[in-house]
Structure 1
Amino acid sequence: MLPDYPFATPPAAGETFQVSPGIHWLRMPLPFALNHINLWLLEDDDGWVIVDTGFALDAVKECWQQVLARLATTACGGRISRIVVTHFHPDHLGLAAWLQELTGAPLLMTLGEYLTAHAVWHEVGGHGNQPMLTQFRAHGLDPERCAALERRSGGYNRGVPRIPTAYERLRAGDVLTIGRHRWQIRVGFGHSPEHAALYSADLGVLISGDMLLPKISTNISVFAVTPTADSLADFLLSIDAYRELPPETLVLPSHGLPFHGIENRVAALHAHHEERLLVLEEHCATPRSAAELLMALFPRDLDTHQTMFAMGEAIAHLNRLEHAGRLVRIEDDDGLVRFVRKPGAAQRAGKPAASR
């Protein structure tokens, strides 16, 4: 089934739109080039379940206050019974603590996402801006762009001013009963440590979070704490699992429009990433760093925020090629990491970096 978009117009900020029985769509602003996030309200027996919370902006808080006031006038009432967060990124977790304070609802997340949020927020255990800058310098990013990234230090905390200090753990395969419907937790990897999507066979609906987007490609990055991770393989294996869902499944993504056509979208993402891998492989006839390859992957001007994602994505694709035996990682005496297409294609300045 080719992608099909049953709802051509998203709801305005602060408004809701019903996309399936008991499922309501909200769209909130983001302060980036990707300027929106889709959030979801699910009708519960005696209230509502919120899925994802938005970035911590005053405008988003105002939207939520309008929505919550309107919910109080509905047949379900205004009670928020649970807050489910798909993953730790600030556009998803950002206002969870604030909404908890307003509503008293418990937070539900996977262990990997909850603990990573705390590690990133506190910049501990290899997480945070400084480890990222050390990683990017090793992969060839120039001092000017590193300095611009350093000036953005604290960006996660601005998007997530507070993290709830208690949560209920979600595990892969868990089933949440929300109103009259059952929702299975489907965990995916590659975009974040333990991303939770929600699938209702009753309704034929998948709330995919960032794991499956209709037009743009989900960011797949390698982080400083896991420098040799094969994040792209993890992601592609995760989305392959969606192929088992019925072709008529309605996918509710975090960005873009709801759509039908899982098989086609998964196939398109595989093709997109293989094309990117081939481009990098071609450019690595001689040793190249991730930073030297940014223009090959992203032939346009990148702002500082986009550079951060682009570097993570370039490293993820180079790691995939290394794991597949298509490139070799080399490291010079100054710690600069490059990749080359064939062993012996260029003299190594130092000993090979360890690879798994």
Structure 2
Amino acid sequence: MLPDYPFPAPPAACEIFAVATGVHWLRMPLPFALNHINLWLLEDGAGWAIVDTGFALDTVKECWLAILEQLTRSTRGGRISRIIVTHFHPDHLGLAAWLQERTAAPVWMTAGEYLTAHAVWHEVGGHGNPPMLRQFRAHGLDEERCAALERRSGGYNRGVPTLPNRYRRLFDGDELIIGGQRWQVRVGYGHSPEHAALYSPDLGVLISGDMLLPTISTNVSVFAVTPEADSLTDYLQSIDRYRELPAATLVLPSHGMPFYGIAGRVDALHAHHEDRLQLLEEYCQTSRSAADLLPMLFARELDTHQTMFAMGEAIAHLNRLEHAGRVMRSEEGDGRIRFVASGRASAASGSGEAGSG
């Protein structure tokens, strides 16, 4: 079932658009092919709660200043009660510290997202560009594209120029009261360490962040710090929890348009990923690296930013196949990691095609 879109168009720049009782939609620009992010304002007593903050661009700062001025002139006043960040990615966390400094509002995040942001920013604990490049080289990415990624070093810090140095921790299952409405914290995995979506049973609204998008699939990657992770299973199990929500739930995603049809969208994402798994399993009848498989997964030409996500996603799908016993991993003489379909590997071994140790 296709999603049903109740709103014909997104809000204009710096416009505050009501989508439910006490819930307002903002849209900010991004400097990527995915050129926008949806942010949310929740009426909170005599003030406002912010959900996600946007990428640190001057145009986004200018938009926030205009919005804060609009809020000051509203009957509710301009006090910001809290800044809730769904996860550490720069389009969500980017201006949290800047807004915190301007408004004195506390930042609310899960521990996994807060600590990962600091690890990525400082490139410690297996995070950052150098470990990522080692991982991609091991999975077959050529030097030209690795060099282009190396030139992008510091990209996270440009999107998040400053980090909050204190926060209030969110846990899965927490219930927040915002403007008299209940909002449940629903932590999901696979896209980021502890992504916090917010569901209001009072309003029938899910602020899904990046966990559930209406037309594109959420990026699911494996990172250098957890090289054998089965991120795809983590993600699919997380979105399966949304099936328990009422069919009339209005989903407010970080990208794309608000929609109804939560169960159908979860079904479609399961089908999408299984199609990709079957495709990769077929191509792995011959030993392949993750980089070898990028053209099979992504028909379009990838820019450098997209290559980073595409490599992480290819590794995630191959890891899922390996965990399921559908492919086997090998490290050949050149040090590169390749995968071959399990049936093919067994046949080769039985026929004496594979060398013995």
Q: Which residue of 1 aligns with 2:62?
A: 62
Task: Work out whether residues 53 and 96 of structure 1, in 8 Å CA contact, stay in contact via their aligned partners in 2.
Answer: yes
Quote how far apart the aligned CAs of 1:350 are.
9.6
Q: Which residue of 1 aligns with 2:29?
A: 29
Report the Cα distance in structure 1 between the residues aligned to 2:15 and 2:225, rounded to whole angstroms. 39
Q: Which residue of 1 aligns with 2:78?
A: 78
1:319 is paired with a residue of what secondary structure? helix
Question: Which runs of structure 2 are paired with 1:231-310 in the superposition (5 Å)?
Answer: 231-310=231-310
Question: Which runs of structure 2 are paired with 1:192-231 in the superposition (5 Å)?
Answer: 192-231=192-231
Q: Which residue of 1 aligns with 2:87?
A: 87
2:313 is paired with a residue of what secondary structure? helix
Q: Which residue of 2 aligns with 1:50?
A: 50
1:330 is paired with a residue of what secondary structure? strand
Report the Cα distance in structure 2 between the residues aligned to 1:16 and 1:179, rounded to whole angstroms. 17
Quote how far apart the aligned CAs of 1:300 are.
1.6
Quote how far apart the aligned CAs of 1:46 are.
1.5
Aligned CA distance change for structure 1 residues 25 and 315 (closer, same or farther; 3 Å):
same
Task: Work out whether residues 284 and 341 of structure 1, in 8 Å CA contact, stay in contact via their aligned partners in 2.
Answer: yes
The letter of the residue matching 1:35 is: N
Q: Which residue of 2 aligns with 1:108?
A: 108
Quote how far apart the aligned CAs of 1:200 are.
0.2
The letter of the residue matching 1:48 is: W
Report the Cα distance in structure 1 between the residues aligned to 2:354 and 2:336, rounded to whole angstroms. 11
Report the Cα distance in structure 2 between the residues aligned to 1:149 and 1:16, rounded to whole angstroms. 37
2:339 is paired with a residue of what secondary structure? strand
1:268-306 per-position Cα deviation (integer Å, ceiling 9, x unaligned)? 000000000011000000110000000000012100000
Report the Cα distance in structure 1 between the residues aligned to 2:57 and 2:356, rounded to whole angstroms. 48
Q: Which residue of 2 aligns with 1:153?
A: 153
1:292 is paired with a residue of what secondary structure? helix
Q: Which residue of 2 aligns with 1:168?
A: 168
Report the Cα distance in structure 2 between the residues aligned to 1:126 and 1:195, rounded to whole angstroms. 20
2:326 is paired with a residue of what secondary structure? coil
The letter of the residue matching 1:26 is: L
2:120 is paired with a residue of what secondary structure? helix
Quote how far apart the aligned CAs of 1:73 are.
1.1
The letter of the residue matching 2:179 is: G
Quote how far apart the aligned CAs of 1:345 are.
5.1
Report the Cα distance in structure 1 between the residues aligned to 2:328 and 2:299, rounded to whole angstroms. 24
Q: Which residue of 1 aligns with 2:38?
A: 38
1:162 is paired with a residue of what secondary structure? coil
Quote how far apart the aligned CAs of 1:344 are.
3.6
2:274 is paired with a residue of what secondary structure? helix
Report the Cα distance in structure 1 between the residues aligned to 2:355 and 2:183, rounded to whole angstroms. 54
Quote how far apart the aligned CAs of 1:199 are.
0.2
Report the Cα distance in structure 2 between the residues aligned to 1:155 and 1:176, rounded to whole angstroms. 33
1:87-138 per-position Cα deviation (integer Å, ceiling 9, x unaligned)? 0000000000000011000000000000000000000000000000000000
1:240 is paired with a residue of what secondary structure? helix
Quote how far apart the aligned CAs of 1:333 are.
3.5
Report the Cα distance in structure 2 between the residues aligned to 1:167 and 1:144, rounded to whole angstroms. 40
The letter of the residue matching 1:73 is: R
Task: Work out whether residues 285 and 345 of structure 1, in 8 Å CA contact, stay in contact via their aligned partners in 2.
Answer: no
Q: Which residue of 2 aligns with 1:20?
A: 20
Quote how far apart the aligned CAs of 1:349 are.
7.7
2:4 is paired with a residue of what secondary structure? coil
1:143 corresponds to 2:143: yes
The letter of the residue matching 2:318 is: L
Aligned CA distance change for structure 1 residues 102 and 19 (closer, same or farther; 3 Å):
same
Identity %: 75
Aligned CA distance change for structure 1 residues 350 and 321 (closer, same or farther; 3 Å):
farther
Q: Which residue of 2 aligns with 1:354?
A: none
The letter of the residue matching 1:34 is: L
Question: Which runs of structure 2 are paired with 1:181-192 in the superposition (5 Å)?
Answer: 181-192=181-192
Report the Cα distance in structure 2 between the residues aligned to 1:221 and 1:262, rounded to whole angstroms. 23
Report the Cα distance in structure 2 between the residues aligned to 1:192 and 1:213, rounded to whole angstroms. 15
1:153-197 per-position Cα deviation (integer Å, ceiling 9, x unaligned)? 000000000100000000000011001101000000000000000
Aligned CA distance change for structure 1 residues 114 and 345 (closer, same or farther; 3 Å):
farther
Q: Is there any run of 5+ residues in structure 1 with no aligned partner, and where?
A: 352-356
Quote how far apart the aligned CAs of 1:254 are.
0.1
1:127 is paired with a residue of what secondary structure? coil
The letter of the residue matching 1:215 is: T
Report the Cα distance in structure 2 between the residues aligned to 1:344 and 1:93, rounded to whole angstroms. 47
Report the Cα distance in structure 2 between the residues aligned to 1:252 and 1:81, rounded to whole angstroms. 21
Report the Cα distance in structure 2 between the residues aligned to 1:290 and 1:94, rounded to whole angstroms. 30
Report the Cα distance in structure 2 between the residues aligned to 1:83 and 1:13, rounded to whole angstroms. 20
Q: Which residue of 2 aligns with 1:130?
A: 130
2:67 is paired with a residue of what secondary structure? helix
